[in-house]
Chain A
Amino acid sequence: MSRNKQEEDPRINGIKTKIRVVPDFPKKGIMFQDITTVLLDPKAFKDTIDLFVERYRDKNISVVAGIEARGFLFGPPIALAIGAKFVPLRKPKKLPGETIFEEYELEYGNDRLEMHVGAVEVGDRALVVDDLIATGGTLCAAIKLLERVGAEVVECACVIELPELKGRQRLKGKPLCMLVEYR
């Protein structure tokens, strides 16, 4: 089965080596994938964006939706480069004006993702961007939000995937593009 992974472009290794793994954050047992160190390296950051832009520029994407907050770091540069609008998907009560929300599960309890009414239109072709996919819960909520307002979600794009958490299977059949796996 095609994994939709980037063929090993030589830029990928450079990006991978810049990701910092911080053990036991936010709690014991979690190996936190810190992308801030990628942002500190202008070449690695540029390569990350370029890889996504090259993939999506000819795909008629009209919306890039980025998940707060680290999706805001990668989504806007991609949106600007491919000429798409950027739509922030936010935690509750951050967006002013009328919003719609989608609930999703956490390890304990639920959370919500919100989007502005009217930001996305019927027929918009959308990309969903986040720094990392773990369980896929947040991305799944994002896909649902976009589909509810009549957009077509073309793909989800993440810098990092944690494949053992099987998030890829929770994307309502949508493909996932990622650059780096962490096992």
Chain B
Amino acid sequence: MQSIVSSYHLCLAPPSPVLRQRLLCHRVPSIRLPSHRSTTSLGLFTCAAVSRESEMAAKEDGQDPRIPKIASSIRVIPDFPKPGIMFQDITTLLLDTEAFKDTIDIFVERYKGKGISVVAGVEARGFIFGPPIALAIGAKFVPMRKPKKLPGKVISEEYSLEYGTDKIEMHVGAVEPGERAIIIDDLIATGGTLAAAIRLLERVGVKIVECACVIELPELKGREKLGEAPLFILVTSDAA
């Protein structure tokens, strides 16, 4: 069984989330594990020491007790897609039925009954978390896609990559002025993609209530690119 590589802080919303406030972050002690090369088999790796400590810390702090299990179900793969990047792999979260359900439940509890009519999800991992949330809160799901994937009329927004630019697209007519939206992705890194998604929706008169991600890499300061839109996340991870 492979141990989890990452050290992480647990970053949670206060117990009664108020959407208009900035996220309050309770920092728990950072737990650093010896670094291992990525495992070849997934297994249901346990990170018993980390989970137990985090869970205890979570309860003491009044944090949501579901978060430590969610955090420990995320697998970190070093040097993917290129050397130096510690890739946060949520596919292992999807293999843990309780962790996946808890992840969706936390978002649904936060957004249900808040007049949100649009859940926008960024291709492709945003497609995994967005629709279950949309279904549970009775909102439409709007996919934001890479160029040339959506048929029919689209609007697009460019954003910067490390080298060069990319675009995301949304269907014309998918959303209407005055609608209230949340934007979902698995992770926020530099914030470029989320910022482009915000611009796309705001261009057609939609109000962004919040951006929601499972994971934040705070050192990459993506939060700063989101303008007035608040950010809600479940787990933070150091980039290195």
Contact = CB atoms under 8 A, between A and B. Distances in A.
Interface of A: 20, 22, 25-26, 32, 34, 36, 39-42, 45-46, 49, 68-70, 72-74, 76-77, 79-80, 83-88, 90, 93-98, 116-119
B42 interface: yes
A88 B135 contact: no
B200 to A, nearest CB: 15
B95 A119 contact: yes
B143 A36 contact: yes
Contact count band on B: 35 or more
Given A73-B143, A85-B100, 11 more contacts: A26-B151, A46-B135, A69-B123, A84-B97, A88-B91, A88-B128, A96-B89, A97-B80, A97-B89, A117-B42, A118-B40
Given A39-B131, A76-B132, A25 B94 contact: no
A111 to B, nearest CB: 15
13 contacts: A22-B152, A36-B143, A36-B174, A45-B134, A69-B124, A73-B141, A74-B131, A83-B97, A85-B95, A86-B94, A88-B128, A90-B124, A118-B42
Contacts of A74: 131
Given A87-B95, A97-B80, A36 B171 contact: yes
Contacts of A79: 94, 97, 100
A93 B77 CA distance: 14
B87 A117 contact: no
A83 B125 CA distance: 20
Interface of B: 38-43, 75, 77, 80-81, 87, 89, 91, 94-97, 100-101, 104, 123-125, 127-129, 131-132, 134-135, 138-143, 145, 148-152, 171, 174
A39 B141 contact: yes
